[in-house]
Chain A
Amino acid sequence: MLPDKRGHFGVFGGRFVPETLSYALDELEKVYARAKKDKKFQQELAYYLHEYAGRPTSLYFAKNLSQYLGFKVYLKREDLLHTGAHKINNTLGQGLLARQMKKPRVIAETGAGQHGVATATVAALFGLKCDVYMGEEDIQRQALNVYRMKLLGARVIPVSSGARTLKDAMTEALRDWVTNVRHTHYVIGTVAGPHPYPAMVRDFQSIIGKEARRQILAKEKKLPDYLVACVGGGSNAMGLFYPFFNDKKVKFIGVEAAGLGLRTGKHAATLVCNKIGVLHGAKSNLLEDRFGQVQLTHSISAGLDYPGVGPEHAYYQKIGRAKYFAVTDQEALEAFKLLSQSEGVIPALESAHAIAYLAKMRGKVSKKSLVIVCVSGRGDKDMGIVTENLKL
C-alpha cells in the first residue's frame, strides 16, 4: 500500500516543510487515519456528498461524440456537482476534518477558482472562517469565481508574487499556515503538498473512480480500455485512476497543458518534461531550471497552470502505470467547442484538455475501445476568457 508511513510513493512524495508545520501535519495525519476508519465520519461525508453535493454523478454515454471519434466514450459528469466541479468531493472531507480538529479557520489556494469556491462553500456550510489565496492574474481571468467566493463569505487575498498564478497562491497560503497554524486548517485542493495531503485528497476524490467503475460495469458489463483526465496538480485524474489501479488492462492517460506549445517554454506540462524537484512540501516532477529555480508556466486554463504535480502521478509515470501527454491552448479551445456542440455539455477549460486528447486518439485506437473521460468541471467560469479566444 502506498504511500509508505512517511508519505513516499517510491522516491516521490514525503514531507519537505518548515518545522513549524510538522505538528499540524502529524495532527492531520492522525485525525485523518482515525476518520478513515470511523463509520460515523464516513456516513456523514457520504450524507453531504449525496444530499448536498449531488452524488453520484452520472456516467453519460456520449453518443454523438462517440460517433465522431469512432470509439465509445462515456463522460464522468463531475461538472454536474454542486459548485460546478469535482473539488467539492475533497473540501467536504477536509471541512469535516477541520471541524473535528476544532480549527475555526480554513485557508485555500486556488487557480481557476473552483477549489476556492468549493472551500468557501464548505466554510459557509460548516460555519468556518475562510481566506482564499489567488494570484492576481487568475483573479483577472476567473473574475466570476472571485465574486462567488466573496458572496459565500470568504475573503479573497490577491497574490502578486511570481507569475501571479496558482503556484504563487500556494506558496502564500503555506506562509499563512506557518503563521496561523494553531487555529487554521489548510485545505489543499489537489493531490500535491506534504504528506498526508496527496493520499488524503486522493482518497476523498477516489469516489469519482469508484462510481465510474461500478457504473461502467453495470452499463457495459466490462471495464474500460482507457481512462482519460486532465492533470494540473492531478486530483480529478487521481480520483478517477486510483480505484482502477489493480485493473491492469485499464490504461490511464493524464493530459497536461502544453500552453502555447512545449517548444515555446510557455506551458505547464510537468510530467511530460519529467524532471524531479521539491516544491510545496513534496518531491515530485517539477518545471525548474538548471539551478532548481521553479519556472513560470503558462496555460489558458488557470487550473492547470502549475509547475508541480502530485507525487503519486510522478510515481505512476515512473512505474509505467499511467502515461501523460500534453495538449495546447488551441487544441483545448477546439475541444471546448467540440463537446459543447456535440453533446450540449460545456466543459471547464481544464476538462477540455482531456477532451482534446480524445480527438488525438481518433483513428489511432481500435473502434471497439471503451473510454471514460472525466469532465472535471463545467465551463461557466470560463466564458470571459473563451469569448476572447474562440471565434464562433
Chain B
Amino acid sequence: MNRIEKKFQQLKKNKRKAFIAYITAGYPNISVTERLIKEFDRLGVDILELGVPFSDPMADGPVIQDASKAALDKGINLEKIFNLVKRSRASCNIPICLMTYYNPVFCYGEAKFCQKSKSSGVDGVIIPDLPPEEAAGFRKSAAQNNLDTIFLLSPTSSPARIKMISAASKGFIYYVSLTGVTGARKTLPPDICRQVKAIKRYTGKPVCVGFGVSQGLQVKEINRFADGVIVGSAIVKKIKENINQPDLIRKVGSFVAGLKG
C-alpha cells in the first residue's frame, strides 16, 4: 500500500476529506519549494501535487504558465525535481504526486521516469495530456513501481469514458470542475455535485475536484459531496504576491491553512 492509498483510508476512517495543494516545482526557486513542502506537511495538507514545469502547458491558465516559465528560466528539470523529492522525504511523509505533461516523461523514458519516481519517494503521477488510451506502456511501468496513475475526468466525459477512466485511475480520480484551463474562478459550475455523483455511480475510488477552486467556502461546498479538493493557481498566485518577502513561507502557509479550514 502506498502513501496515497493509506492517506485515503485514514481520511475515510476519520470522516475527513482530502485537501490537496499544488505548487510549481522550482518556483520561485528550489529552496522555497522545499520549504513549502515541509510547511504544507506541518499544516496537515493531505497530498502534495508537485508541478513539473513544461514549455507548453496547454491545460494551464496564466498563473501556472508564468510560474512554469519562471522555473524553467532558472533551470528546473526532472533530475532536480527528483532530488528535491528525495531530500524532502528525509523529514516528511506527505504523499507526493507529480503533475506533468507527457513530453517530459516520454523524453526522460517512461520506465526510467517511474523507477526514479519510486526511488525518490514519489507516490503518484497526474498527466493531463495522457489519456488511458495512450498510456498502456506508462501504466505498466507505473504499476511495477507502485506508482499511482491518476487520470482525469471532465464535465464533457461520456458515461463510457467515465467507466473506462475510473477503472484505469489509481489512487484517486481527478475531476476537472469546468471546461477550461487552471486558474481561480469566483464561481464554479453548478453541476459539479451532480457530475461527481454520476462518477461515483461507476466507482468506489475517491473522487477529488480541481480547477478553479480558490476559496475556503468553495472547498467546504465541494467537500460535501466529493472526497477531496485540489487547489493550485490560488496558492501559486499567493507565492507570486509574496515573492522575495522574508515571510513568504508563513504567508503562503497561513493562506493554505485558511483554505483547508
Q: A152-191 interface mask toward B, CB cutoff 8 Å, 1 = contact, 0 = none?
A: 0000000001100001100100110011111000000000
Judging by beta carbons under 8 Å apart, are A292 and B128 in contact? Answer: no
A277 to B129, CA, bound (A): 13
B199 shortest CB reach to chain A, Å: 12
A185 to B69, CA, bound (A): 29
Judging by beta carbons under 8 Å apart, are B58 and A294 in contact? Answer: no
A168 to B181, CA, bound (A): 15
Please tell me if A22 contacts chain B, counting CB pairs below 8 Å.
yes
Q: B72-110 interface mask toward A, CB cutoff 8 Å, 1 = contact, 0 = none?
A: 100001110000000000000000000000111111100
Please tell me if A14 contacts chain B, counting CB pairs below 8 Å.
yes
A167 shortest CB reach to chain B, Å: 7
A277 to B54, CA, bound (A): 13
B39 shortest CB reach to chain A, Å: 27
Contact of A23 among B59, B103, B128, B158 (CB under 8 A): B158
Residues in B with CB closer than 8 Å to A276 are 106
Please tell me if B44 contacts chain A, counting CB pairs below 8 Å.
no
Known: A18-B58, A290-B107. A178 touches B131 (CB 8 A): no
Q: Which residue of A lies closest to B130 (CB)?
A: A16
Please tell me if B10 contacts chain A, counting CB pairs below 8 Å.
no
A17 shortest CB reach to chain B, Å: 6
Known: A22-B157, A179-B180. A17 touches B107 (CB 8 A): no
Please tell me if B152 contacts chain A, counting CB pairs below 8 Å.
yes
Judging by beta carbons under 8 Å apart, are B56 and A294 in contact? Answer: yes
Known: A15-B134, A294-B55. A20 touches B176 (CB 8 A): yes
Q: Which residue of A lies closest to B105 (CB)?
A: A292
Contact of B179 among A16, A179, A288 (CB under 8 A): A179
Contact of B129 among A18, A23, A26 (CB under 8 A): A18
Please tell me if B2 contacts chain A, counting CB pairs below 8 Å.
no
A390 to B84, CA, bound (A): 52
Known: A16-B102, A179-B181, A281-B129. A23 touches B56 (CB 8 A): no
Judging by beta carbons under 8 Å apart, are A178 and B58 in contact? Answer: yes
Judging by beta carbons under 8 Å apart, are B129 and A292 in contact? Answer: no
Please tell me if A255 contacts chain B, counting CB pairs below 8 Å.
no
A44 to B156, CA, bound (A): 31
Please tell me if B24 contacts chain A, counting CB pairs below 8 Å.
no
Interface residues contributed by chain B, number (CB under 8 Å): 40
Residues in A with CB closer than 8 Å to B195 are none
Judging by beta carbons under 8 Å apart, are A20 and B156 in contact? Answer: yes
Judging by beta carbons under 8 Å apart, are A292 and B156 in contact? Answer: no
Known: A178-B180, A291-B77. A18 touches B56 (CB 8 A): no
Judging by beta carbons under 8 Å apart, are B157 and A19 in contact? Answer: yes
Judging by beta carbons under 8 Å apart, are B104 and A6 in contact? Answer: no
Please tell me if A279 contacts chain B, counting CB pairs below 8 Å.
yes
A367 shortest CB reach to chain B, Å: 46
B222 shortest CB reach to chain A, Å: 18
Please tell me if A24 contacts chain B, counting CB pairs below 8 Å.
yes
Please tell me if B258 contacts chain A, counting CB pairs below 8 Å.
no
Judging by beta carbons under 8 Å apart, are B176 and A293 in contact? Answer: no
Name the interface residues of B165-224: CB closer than 8 Å to any CB of A: 165, 176, 179-181
Name the interface residues of A1-44: CB closer than 8 Å to any CB of B: 6, 14-24, 26
Judging by beta carbons under 8 Å apart, are A288 and B155 in contact? Answer: no
Please tell me if B133 contacts chain A, counting CB pairs below 8 Å.
yes
Please tell me if B42 contacts chain A, counting CB pairs below 8 Å.
no
Judging by beta carbons under 8 Å apart, are B102 and A19 in contact? Answer: no
A279 to B157, CA, bound (A): 22
A278 to B158, CA, bound (A): 25
Residues in A with CB closer than 8 Å to B57 are 171
Residues in B with CB closer than 8 Å to A178 are 58-59, 179-181
Judging by beta carbons under 8 Å apart, are A22 and B103 in contact? Answer: no
If A24-B156, A171-B56, A288-B103 are given as contacts, then 10 extra A-B residue pairs at C-beta distance below 8 Å, sorted by A number, are A14-B134, A18-B154, A20-B156, A278-B129, A286-B103, A288-B107, A292-B107, A293-B55, A293-B72, A294-B55
Footprint of B on A, CB under 8 Å?
A: 6, 14-24, 26, 161-162, 167-168, 171, 174-175, 178-182, 276-281, 283, 286, 288, 290-294
Can you give 10 A-B contacts (C-beta < 8 A)? A15-B131, A17-B131, A20-B176, A168-B56, A175-B61, A178-B59, A178-B179, A179-B179, A180-B179, A294-B56
